[in-house]
């Protein structure tokens, strides 16, 4: 996307700064914080250390930014992602050099995969020690090159205002993504008189490209002639704030809509045209509809493997239109007939205008819509409950949906619970389902819930998590308690790495290869709590957070309501069986023809 560069203001011709404002003399560290304030940053997640101490001292002198201290740098960066995914603004995290910086890497990679706007600031050792294996020195600039949209190593304090302004512009414009700013300690300590630019211009960077009317009219013509069209929409609709335009387009064109997991909530899942989401564990109706379509409108998506399966057999009979802001995604995974580079909000909005002006008549599509509706009624997301009193993960999620009326923001860890959350909680608003989807990073759920709750204090925020994933960043319960962040955790505890166990059952003759998290000698039915490990309720209490453990169905609804009624953070540990599988399932590299439905 960009050539990554060490930033030197005097020799760089890429940026112009009309009508600059000259500030008062201050340290480089104070200039960084002042620039963040000017970019509208209200919250950041930062863990201090030797190489970032001056930045933290500057933050302590600033009363305009709420600085939240995570208990691990990864937790702070995931929280910044949760904040960004909820608001659309750039999430900001900060760490010191060496291990502090490397602890950000997983979250930076996650933000890159899921196109999440983030600015990660790292302290660096003094310039005289760079490259000399100094204490806590790592080349975080080099380490992150493949997983950032852009990166900077700031070598002159005078460059700070330009770098920070450009970093936010890049992170939030076009296809969003993470930007790294690495600042040596001596640069932070240098006295400067900062010059603040009002505008950013980057040569060859065109983040807001717009499709021309000729291309869009071609798409409208395809829509009018198609017999079996499907809208395949993704995270680009959400990051592009194009959900209203999508709704109007789908209704006018009378086309069924199915999304990726990143796109969950961009089209109301209760709408008659919605097929929810499709792919490996998505709806049968969505998968069948895409497979049989004769026109596939792929908007704000990237044709990843969890969607396509065997790519050569994906939508084999369809003419494919791919509209995306990032030209590098065109024909990368799937060759399409109509690749169009455009801001998706503009493209959909302009097509709506063109259809209105031309008197476009909404096609009936009766036969196609009846067929799709038949699939939807025949193959809903469902689960089969044995005649026992224990709780299934699916019913716990559905009960949560009922008690929250679908109004909560849901974050998740990674695993079976993640798929069930998307299956059994119906989403009607964008930015309500926040999960690590491209990278699939366990430990994402609870820190992301903290960031989401900080961003949306008036909405209920619940992390639906698994015991394995929750344990990876459980220390952030301390952050929730001390910072009074009322994010809840609903832990679906099966004492196993559930998704890996499912693959063991399906493809490895149920051979258990280090996937049992509890006491191997006492794993049994959900009623057997002898081997329960760890005790999440006791751990939560140790952090000053209330909690409750349930394993009987008769206790479930009351326990969830108790969690929702709690003003602060809460951990609800729900014991569930490890024998359940997430279905439907298209095995990796296979096609719709190989779908396992039950």
| 25 is annotated as an active-site residue | no
Report the C-alpha gap between 521 and 529 in whole angstroms.
12
Report the C-alpha gap between 94 and 106 in whole angstroms.
14
Distances in Å between the alpha carbon of 447 and those of 413, 470, 485?
A: 10, 10, 11
| 495 is annotated as an active-site residue | no
Contacts of residue 140, defined as CB under 8 A and 6 or more positions apart, other chains included, come to: 97, 101, 102, 104, 122, 124, 180, 182
Report the C-alpha gap between 367 and 202 in whole angstroms.
51
| 185 is annotated as an active-site residue | yes
* CA-based R_g, the chain, Å: 25
| 201 is annotated as an active-site residue | no
CB 72 within 8 A of CB 476: yes
Q: Catalytic pick from 149, 185, 276, 345?
A: 185
Q: Catalytic pick from 64, 128, 135, 407?
A: 135
CB 57 within 8 A of CB 29: yes
Report the C-alpha gap between 594 and 570 in whole angstroms.
41
CB 521 within 8 A of CB 584: no
CB 294 within 8 A of CB 308: no
Report the C-alpha gap between 587 and 149 in whole angstroms.
32
Which two three-digit tokens encode residue 221?
């013509």
Q: How many CB atoms lie within 10 A of CB 6?
A: 13
Q: Catalytic pick from 499, 563, 585, 595?
A: 499
Report the C-alpha gap between 122 and 92 in whole angstroms.
11
Q: How many CB atoms lie within 10 A of CB 588?
A: 12
Q: Catalytic pick from 53, 57, 127, 136?
A: 136
Report the C-alpha gap between 199 and 176 in whole angstroms.
19
**Angle of the 53-60 helix axis to the 28-38 helix axis, nearest 10:** 60
Pairing of strands 195-196, 21-22: antiparallel
| 135 is annotated as an active-site residue | yes
Pairing of strands 43-46, 195-196: unpaired
Contacts of residue 386, defined as CB under 8 A and 6 or more positions apart, other chains included, come to: none
Q: How many CB atoms lie within 10 A of CB 103?
A: 19
CB 566 within 8 A of CB 490: no
For residues 300-316, one letter each, b for 16 or more C-beta atoms within 10 angstroms of the residue's C-beta and e for the rest, the string is bbbbbebbbbebeebbe
Q: Catalytic pick from 27, 44, 45, 73?
A: 73
Which two three-digit tokens encode residue 4?
């990554």
Q: At 74, which helix (H) or strand (E)?
A: helix 73-87
Active centre residues (catalytic):
73, 135-136, 185, 499
């Amino acid at each position: 996307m960009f050539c990554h560069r060490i930033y030197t203001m005097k020799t760089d011709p890429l940026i112009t700064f009309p009508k600059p404002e000259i500030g008062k003399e201050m340290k480089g560290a104070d200039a960084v914080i002042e620039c963040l304030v000017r970019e509208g940053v209200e919250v950041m997640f930062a863990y201090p250390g030797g190489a970032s101490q001056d930045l933290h001292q500057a933050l302590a002198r600033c009363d305009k930014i709420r600085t939240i201290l995570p208990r691990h740098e990864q937790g702070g960066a995931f929280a910044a992602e949760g904040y960004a995914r909820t608001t659309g603004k750039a999430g900001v995290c900060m760490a010191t050099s060496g291990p502090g910086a490397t602890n950000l890497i997983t979250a930076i990679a996650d933000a890159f995969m899921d196109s999440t706007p983030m600015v990660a600031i790292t302290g660096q050792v003094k310039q005289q020690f760079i490259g000399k294996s100094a204490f806590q020195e790592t080349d975080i600039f080099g380490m992150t090159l493949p997983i950032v949209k852009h990166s900077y190593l700031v070598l002159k304090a005078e460059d700070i205002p330009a770098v920070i302004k450009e970093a936010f512009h890049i992170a939030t414009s076009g296809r969003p993504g993470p930007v790294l700013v690495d600042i040596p300690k001596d640069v932070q300590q240098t006295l400067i008189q900062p010059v603040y630019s009002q505008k950013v211009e980057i040569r060859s960077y065109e983040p807001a490209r717009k499709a021309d009317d000729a291309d869009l009219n071609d798409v409208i013509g395809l829509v009018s002639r198609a017999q079996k069209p499907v809208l395949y929409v993704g995270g680009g609709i959400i990051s592009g704030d194009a959900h209203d335009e999508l709704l109007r387009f789908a209704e006018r064109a009378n086309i069924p809509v199915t999304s990726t997991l990143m796109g969950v909530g961009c089209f109301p899942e209760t709408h008659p045209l919605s097929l929810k989401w499709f792919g490996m564990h998505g709806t049968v109706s969505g998968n069948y509809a895409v497979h049989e379509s004769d026109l596939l409108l792929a908007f704000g998506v990237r044709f990843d493997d969890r969607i396509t399966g065997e790519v050569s057999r994906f939508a084999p009979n369809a003419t494919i239109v791919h509209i995306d802001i990032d030209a590098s995604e065109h024909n990368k995974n799937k060759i399409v007939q109509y690749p169009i580079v455009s801001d998706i909000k503009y493209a959909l909005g302009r097509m709506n205008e063109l259809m209105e002006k031309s008197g476009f008549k909404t096609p009936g599509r009766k036969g196609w819509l009846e067929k799709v509706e038949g699939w939807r009624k025949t193959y809903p997301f469902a689960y089969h409950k044995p005649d026992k009193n224990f709780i299934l993960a699916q019913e716990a999620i559905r009960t949560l949906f009922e008690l929250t009326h679908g109004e909560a923001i849901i974050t998740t860890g990674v695993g079976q619970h993640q798929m069930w959350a998307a299956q059994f909680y119906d989403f009607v608003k964008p930015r309500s389902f926040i999960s690590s989807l491209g990278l699939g990073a366990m430990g994402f759920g609870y820190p992301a819930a903290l960031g989401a709750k900080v961003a949306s204090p008036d909405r209920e925020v619940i992390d639906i998590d698994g015991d394995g994933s929750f344990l990876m960043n459980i220390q952030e319960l301390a952050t929730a308690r001390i910072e009074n962040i009322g994010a809840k955790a609903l832990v679906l505890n099966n004492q196993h790495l559930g998704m890996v166990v499912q693959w063991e059952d399906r493809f490895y003759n149920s051979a258990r290869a280090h996937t049992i998290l509890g006491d191997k000698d006492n794993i049994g039915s959900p009623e057997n709590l002898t081997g329960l490990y760890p005790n999440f309720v006791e751990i939560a209490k140790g952090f000053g957070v209330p909690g409750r453990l349930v394993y009987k169905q008769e206790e479930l609804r009351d326990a969830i309501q108790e969690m929702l009624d709690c003003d602060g953070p809460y951990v609800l540990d729900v014991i569930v069986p490890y024998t359940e599988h997430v279905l439907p399932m298209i095995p990796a590299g296979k096609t719709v023809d190989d779908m396992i439905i039950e």
